[in-house]
Amino acid sequence: MSTAKSNKVLVFKLGLAVFVMLGFSYALIPLYKSACDAGWLEVNRIDENNPYANVNHNVNTSNTQVDKSRWVTVEFVATANDKMPWKFEAQEKSVKIHPGEMTNVLYNVVNPTGKEMTGMAVPSYSPALAATYFQKVECFCFTQQKLGPHESRGMPVVFVVTPDLPKDVSTISLSYTFFEVKPKSAS
Amino acid sequence: MEHGHDHHPSGIMRWVTTTNHKDIGSLYLWFSLCMFFFAGTLALGIRLELFQPGMQFMQPQTFNQLTTLHGLIMVFGAIMPAFVGFANWQIPLMIGAPDMALPRLNNWSFWLLPVAATLLVTSFFVPGGPIAGGWTLYPPLYMQNGISGDMTIFAVHILGMSSILGSINIIVTIMNMRAPGMTYMKMPLFVWTWFITAYLLIAVMPVLAGAVTMMLTDRHFDTHFFDASGGGDPVMFQHIFWFFGHPEVYIMILPAFGIVSSIIPTFARKPLFGYTSMVYATASIAILSMVVWAHHMYTVGMPVTAQLYFMYATMLIAVPTGVKVFNWLATMWQGAMTFETPMLFSIGFVALFTLGGFTGIVLAMVPVDVQLQDSYYVVAHFHYVLVSGSLFTLFAGAYYWLPKWTGHMYDEKLGKLHFWLSMIGFNLTFFPQHFLGLAGMPRRIPDYALQFADFNRMSSIGAFIFGTTQLIFVYVVIKCIRGGAPAGDKPWEGADTLEWTVPSPAPYHTFETPPVVK
């Protein structure tokens, strides 16, 4: 085989390898998803109190002792993500409660668009350490919310601020951000 | 191919249209030298701000832009093209080939680089300034950048394309263009290391291209690969990035191993000790580098089993690397050594690279890494392997082959001065950073707590010494091109590879009749 010809063959093979590897980078996504689904990437959480491990299963309902010696102000912040057209607000700006008291608040959400949409709310707390003491019994953020065209809904959050909340925390802000859940997402 | 005697267009068109491996090699080397000074100046900006605690000279955003662009340009614009420049000049000369196998492709792979560099450099002037999320481009931070985010993505695409084309060319040249009798196991080690590096590049550059393309579609075309609000996962980017990123660090060090393996035997006047083991060690490092990526991300959340695997696999790399270090030492053992500048830089490399390798083993340990992740200890580690590793060998190689390239001897006194000042400046800059990291100073911050002030001041002084010292190198190179003592075909007594059989300066066309290797 002449050099020119064998050069061509080799260039073709190496070029093919480049495209295979480019394909491989995209193949990593389903691979990553399978690895996640199979639990290979899950961290073994020993800390039962970690509220992020699994919000649904970590609510400790046995502790309902109310600490009437102090008040805690819980503020509610509601935001819709930039790309999310829903109108989203809390019915009350804030409530004053005792630690240990079971409390029920409502959020309003409206889908102003003419099409059915699905959304998911993601909570965050300020100060962040309050997250550990903020236990939700029921929350619209546990599941995805589907709203028809122009539908509106009142959504509940039932929560307890546990009495072991550090004494220096007197105000907790609970903030929800609504994101749109696209029907077909990457993974 | 036309066999005219030195017939080529003159002036700028010579360089734009050239398909000559020596011209293209020089272009690569000059380009990387410019980028080296540009990115080095950015680094001096970083050290200026860190000279004392408090905010002195710039906004935190600007500081982050400096660290990001310094990293990106040094990796993709300075170190990598410099090694490709050496490959262009030396591989055909070392295997007795008249030129690279694909000369026009070669021209194209070079001229892609200035385009990419322009995109990166001009991103300083677009609204919002250049990207500031670190050279690793992690989302979600990266997604929030303005237009410069897209410019960087395209720059990475173009740089990747250039590297891939260059690698294909190198592999084809090595496989098809060796002189008669030049069997694989007779190839100089520099050729071997580039051969393996080129395969690594072909394997991982497309993965980086894929990752940044996903980022681009996430930013503009409503995909959600890494966007958590749409069901994507930013941690997945880190996996994909480091699947590229770890082999990348070996891409920047394997050719350095090759250069050192050429220089040490020359100045020890002994054949390289353990040639075969060197070849196998290089190949093992390359293979292992593909399966250790997650040691860059122990803290993102991963089961203990996975952490243990990545820890042991990473530590395993120390074995072939150790083989190499001991081979270099054994080559020098009882050799008739002289200490010209290339040898000084090579010995400096062996000593300091080994130190950087050791801190790498420290960082490979999960419990230690969890403490040191994103601290200055990491910064010190990778500068020990990249500056005193890759960069020092680039200087060593430049001094070693300058007589062949220019036909003149360089100024030995200034060369030695360059080495010793670099050595002092480098260690003064980066050695204290180990202590900063151990004491808890995070990387990528423009301001720091008072207890870090002393070491930071030392580090900044060292950086300015190191930075200014590099001007000596430019002076020596220009002086050497302009004139100097004639070099002769073989200026180094102990050298025995093929490039020393052609005249100095190496004629425009060499080995048109292939030499016969016994």
Residue B8 scores a pLDDT above 80: no
In a domain, B516, yes or no: no
For chain A, the straight-line distance linking the first and the last C-alpha, in angstroms and rounded, comes to 48
Residue A48 scores a pLDDT above 80: no
Is A46 in CB contact (< 8 Å) with chain B?
no
B188 and B262 belong to one structural domain:
no
Mutate to test the interface with B, among A1, A3, A6, A21 (most CBs of B within 10 A): A21
Lowest mean pLDDT across A54-58, B168-172, B481-485 = A54-58
| pLDDT > 90: percent of chain B | 87
Q: What is the DSSP string of A17-61?
A: HHHHHHHHHHHHHHHHHHHHHTTTT------TT-TTT-TTT---T
What is the domain extent for residue B345?
253-508
- Residue A122: φ, ψ to 5°: -115, 120
Q: What is the DSSP string of A54-107?
A: -TTT---TT-----TT--EEEEEEEEE-TT---EEEESSSEEEE-TT-EEEEEE
B47 and B114 belong to one structural domain:
yes
Q: Residue A45's pLDDT band (boundaries 50, 70, 90)?
A: very low
* Cβ atoms of A57 and A153 closer than 8 Å: no
In a domain, B132, yes or no: yes
Mutate to test the interface with A, among B108, B143, B172 (most CBs of A within 10 A): B172
Q: Which two tokens stand for residue A145?
A: 């919310």
Q: How many domains does chain B have?
A: 2
B47 and B148 belong to one structural domain:
yes
* Cβ atoms of B254 and B193 closer than 8 Å: yes
Is A3 in CB contact (< 8 Å) with chain B?
yes
User: Which residues are CB-neighbours of A71 under 8 A, at least 6 positions away?
Assistant: A96, A97, A98, A170
In a domain, B192, yes or no: yes
Is B34 in CB contact (< 8 Å) with chain A?
no
Number of neighbours of residue B115 by Cβ within 10 angstroms:
13
User: Which residues are CB-neighbours of B400 under 8 A, at least 6 positions away?
Assistant: B259, B262, B263, B266, B342, B492
Instruction: Give chain B's mean pLDDT.
Output: 94
- Name the β-bridge partners of A173: A75, A126
Q: Residue A59's pLDDT band (boundaries 50, 70, 90)?
A: very low
pLDDT tens per residue, range B398-437 = 999 999 999 999 999 999 999 999 999 999 999 999 999 9
**Which long-range contacts (C-beta less than 8 Å, at least 24 apart) are formed by B434-438?**
B434/B359, B434/B376, B434/B377, B434/B380, B436/B375, B436/B376, B436/B377, B436/B380, B437/B372, B437/B375, B437/B376, B437/B377, B437/B378, B437/B379, B437/B380, B438/B372, B438/B375, B438/B377
**DSSP summary character for residue A145:** E
B212 and B279 belong to one structural domain:
no
Q: Which two tokens stand for residue B450?
A: 């008072």
B300 and B448 belong to one structural domain:
yes
Instruction: Give chain A's mean pLDDT.
Output: 82
| pLDDT > 70: percent of chain B | 99
**DSSP summary character for residue B338:** -
Helices and strands (H, E) in chain B, number of each type: 18, 0
Residue B157 scores a pLDDT above 70: yes
Alpha carbon distance B89, B109 (integer Å): 15
- Least Cα distance to B254 among B237, B279, B231 occurs for B279
Is B221 in CB contact (< 8 Å) with chain A?
no
Number of neighbours of residue B1 by Cβ within 10 angstroms:
9
pLDDT tens per residue, range B29-76 = 999 999 999 999 999 999 999 999 999 899 999 999 999 999 999 999
Residue A16 scores a pLDDT above 80: yes
Contact A14 B172 (CB under 8 A): yes
Q: Which two tokens stand for residue B518?
A: 């016994």
- Residue A53: φ, ψ to 5°: -60, -55
B129 and B166 belong to one structural domain:
yes
- Cα–Cα separations (whole angstroms), residue B63 to B45, B56, B58, B74, B204: 8, 11, 7, 16, 30
Shortest distance, CA A10 to any CA of chain B (angstroms): 7
B424 and B482 belong to one structural domain:
yes
pLDDT of residue A1: 58
Contact B236 A32 (CB under 8 A): yes
| Residue that has been written with the tokens 């390289």 in this structure | B272
Is A17 in CB contact (< 8 Å) with chain B?
yes
pLDDT of residue B65: 94
* Cβ atoms of A51 and A141 closer than 8 Å: no
Q: For chain A, how big is the Rg over CA atoms in Å?
A: 25
Is A16 in CB contact (< 8 Å) with chain B?
no
**A178: closest chain B residue by CA:** B229
Residue A51 scores a pLDDT above 50: no
In a domain, B43, yes or no: yes
pLDDT of residue A165: 86
Q: Catalytic residue, from B123, B162, B406, B459: name it.
A: B162
Contact A28 B223 (CB under 8 A): no
B238 and B279 belong to one structural domain:
no
Alpha helix (H) residue ranges in B269-375: 275-289, 304-316, 318-332, 341-364, 366-372
In a domain, B514, yes or no: no
Shortest distance, CA A65 to any CA of chain B (angstroms): 35
Question: Per-residue pLDDT averaged across B281-296, rounded?
Answer: 95
| Order of strands across the sheet that contains A87-90 | A87-90, A102-110, A152-161, A134-139
Q: Catalytic residue, from B167, B282, B321, B359: name it.
A: B321
Lowest mean pLDDT across A124-133, B199-208, B480-489 = A124-133
Q: Which two tokens stand for residue B325?
A: 């270090």
Shortest distance, CA B172 to any CA of chain A (angstroms): 6
Alpha carbon distance A163, B391 (integer Å): 60
In a domain, B90, yes or no: yes
- Least Cα distance to B241 among B256, B217, B225, B221 occurs for B225
Alpha carbon distance A138, B100 (integer Å): 69
> In CATH, what number is assigned to the domain containing residue B461?
1.20.210.10
pLDDT of residue A44: 52
- Name the β-bridge partners of B493: none
- Name the β-bridge partners of A156: A106
Question: Per-residue pLDDT averaged across A8-19, rounded?
Answer: 94
Alpha carbon distance B429, B7 (integer Å): 48
Residue B266 scores a pLDDT above 50: yes
Q: Which two tokens stand for residue B495?
A: 């050298």
Q: Which two tokens stand for residue B91?
A: 């591989």
Q: Which two tokens stand for residue B241?
A: 């990035």
Question: Per-residue pLDDT averaged across B256-283, rounded?
Answer: 96
Which of B175, B224, B306 is opposite residue A40, by nearest beta carbon? B306
B173 and B85 belong to one structural domain:
yes
In a domain, B421, yes or no: yes
Q: Which two tokens stand for residue A168?
A: 């220096």
B330 and B358 belong to one structural domain:
yes
Q: Residue A138's pLDDT band (boundaries 50, 70, 90)?
A: confident
pLDDT of residue A130: 86
Q: Which two tokens stand for residue A175?
A: 């903030």
**A41: closest chain B residue by CA:** B302
HEC secondary structure over B354-399: HHHHHHHHHHHCHHHHHHHCCEHHHHHHHHHHHHHHHHHHHHHHHH
Q: Catalytic residue, from B19, B261, B354, B406: name it.
A: B261
- Name the β-bridge partners of A119: A145, A180
What is the interface pTM, i.e. ipTM, of the complex? 0.87
Which of B249, B278, B308 delimits the end of a domain? B249
Q: Which amino acid is at B402?
A: L
Burial class from Cβ neighbours inside 10 Å (0-12, 13-18, 19+) for residue B74 reads buried
> Is B250 known to be catalytic?
yes
Residue B155 scores a pLDDT above 80: yes
Residue B143 scores a pLDDT above 90: no
Size of interface A-B (CB pairs under 8 A): 105
Please name each of the domains of chain A with its CATH number.
72-180 (2.60.370.10)
Alpha carbon distance B470, B395 (integer Å): 10
Q: Residue B227's pLDDT band (boundaries 50, 70, 90)?
A: confident
Residue B141 scores a pLDDT above 60: yes
Residue B1 scores a pLDDT above 50: no
Lowest mean pLDDT across A62-66, B23-27, B85-89, B163-167 = A62-66
B123 and B91 belong to one structural domain:
yes
Q: Residue A41's pLDDT band (boundaries 50, 70, 90)?
A: confident
Q: Is the dihedral of CA B355, B358, B362, B364 positive or negative?
A: positive
pLDDT tens per residue, range B230-260 = 888 899 999 999 999 999 999 999 999 999 9
Which of B205, B225, B249 delimits the end of a domain? B249
Report which of residues A111 and A52 the model is more confident about. Answer: A111
Shortest distance, CA A162 to any CA of chain B (angstroms): 28
Which of B201, B217, B249 delimits the end of a domain? B249
Residue A86 scores a pLDDT above 60: yes
Alpha carbon distance B159, B80 (integer Å): 10
Residue A53 scores a pLDDT above 50: no
Among the ranges A71-75, A127-131, B154-158, which has the highest mean pLDDT value?
Answer: B154-158
User: Which residues are CB-neighbours of B40 under 8 A, at least 6 positions away?
Assistant: B74, B467, B470
In a domain, B12, yes or no: no
Asked if residue A127 has a cis previous peptide bond (ω within 30° of 0), the answer is: yes
B325 and B241 belong to one structural domain:
no
